[in-house]
Amino acid sequence: MSNRFIGARQTTLAREIQLTGTGVHSGAPVSVTLHPAEADTGLRFLVTKRGRVVSEIAAHVANVKNLTLCTVIGDDAGTTVGTVEHLLAALRGLSIDNLYIEIDSKEVPIMDGSSAEFVEAIDRVGIRELSEPRKYIKVLKPVRVEEGGCWGALEPYSGFRMDVEIDFASPVIGRQRLQYEMSPGIFRHEISRARTFGFMSDVEKLWKAGLALGADLSNTVAIGDGKVMNREGLRYPQEFVRHKMLDAVGDLALAGMPLLGAYRSYRGGHRLNSMVLQALFADASNWTVAQAPKTRAVRAPVQITAPAALAAAE
């Protein structure tokens, strides 16, 4: 067995990916192109109008503008991109560090309501390992945020561990808890296909607010009359908490680098996930940038399927 540090190098896509779909809230058609990027680029959205880039927005919690039913990032000029969490979850879940995300709408397409189609597209083209060492946000001190009976916390940890618990009054969902040592394999097989969900009783209210205009049974698990309304049923046991974990992976990607820490949430959502990151960055003593050990140069592209790093050296 090689003693090479797993996940030691930064990554990007091996080739460009083009995707089309519909915005779940706007109902508008969307085209997205994922472009390979150089080391230390990070994940960056390129918003276009009539084929021209009008804004470049880094996927970072400092750029969060709205957290109503989805995560919206934007610039100071008012350009925004919403529903970024499922795509960011796929990128962070598969350990992709650097990418330009070109988009011609205000919302990332919902696809099937999960990260599955993004993962499948990435798996088709492959992931390219770069020569520069991977960098991490390493949690140094516990951080906890509470709001309205919900709470979220980050603690020091040598890898990336997720522990997510939900508690709904609906007997269809109830109380569910899931814990994973996150890795590309775990994300791909246990998390990526979990779909967003909602209650039929909320639909009319959302439509009046101009939300969920593109939601239907092809991209949302709908709950009504005490049952799941989708004919095919659920994809996983506990699909609801798995989707909440998927959302958390995407929201925590807004740290700007992979996290070395353990995340725990109870009745969380986009707002709470964002608040925990904001609390982390509010005090410079809470975190540091850690860098993986240097390894010998790689001469050819490498398909990354191994788990992300479980440790890093400062």
Residue extents of the structural domains in the chain: 10-291
pLDDT of residue 6: 52
Check pLDDT > 50 for residue 277.
yes
Q: Is 60 annotated as a binding residue?
A: no
Q: Is 117:219 a contact under the CB 8 Å cutoff?
A: no
pLDDT of residue 238: 97
Condensed to tens digits (0 to 9), the pLDDT of residues 58-72 reads 999 999 999 988 999
Mean pLDDT of 120-140: 97
Q: Which residues contact 78 (CB under 8 A, 6 or more apart)?
A: none
Mean pLDDT of 195-213: 86
Q: Average the pLDDT over each of 37-41, 108-112, 198-202, 297-301 and give the range with the smallest value.
A: 297-301
Mean pLDDT of 288-296: 83
Mean pLDDT of 35-43: 98
Q: Which two tokens stand for residue 189?
A: 């097989």
Check pLDDT > 90 for residue 296.
no
Active-site positions? 270
pTM: 0.90
What confidence tier does 26 reach under pLDDT thresholds 50, 70, 90? confident
pLDDT of residue 305: 39
pLDDT of residue 2: 35
Q: Is 139:157 a contact under the CB 8 Å cutoff?
A: yes
The domain 10-291 is classified under which CATH number: 3.30.1700.10, 3.10.20.90, 1.10.10.10, 3.40.50.300? Answer: 3.30.1700.10
The dihedrals phi and psi of 226, each to the nearest 5 degrees, come to 70, 25
Q: Average the pLDDT over each of 38-47, 54-63, 99-108, 210-219 and give the range with the smallest value.
A: 210-219
Q: Which two tokens stand for residue 89?
A: 């979850």
Beta carbons within 10 angstroms of residue 288's beta carbon:
13
What confidence tier does 300 reach under pLDDT thresholds 50, 70, 90? very low
Check pLDDT > 50 for residue 268.
yes
Condensed to tens digits (0 to 9), the pLDDT of residues 167-193 reads 999 999 999 999 999 999 999 999 999
CA dist., res. 67 & res. 37, Å (int) = 28
What confidence tier does 314 reach under pLDDT thresholds 50, 70, 90? very low
Q: What is the DSSP letter of 189?
A: I
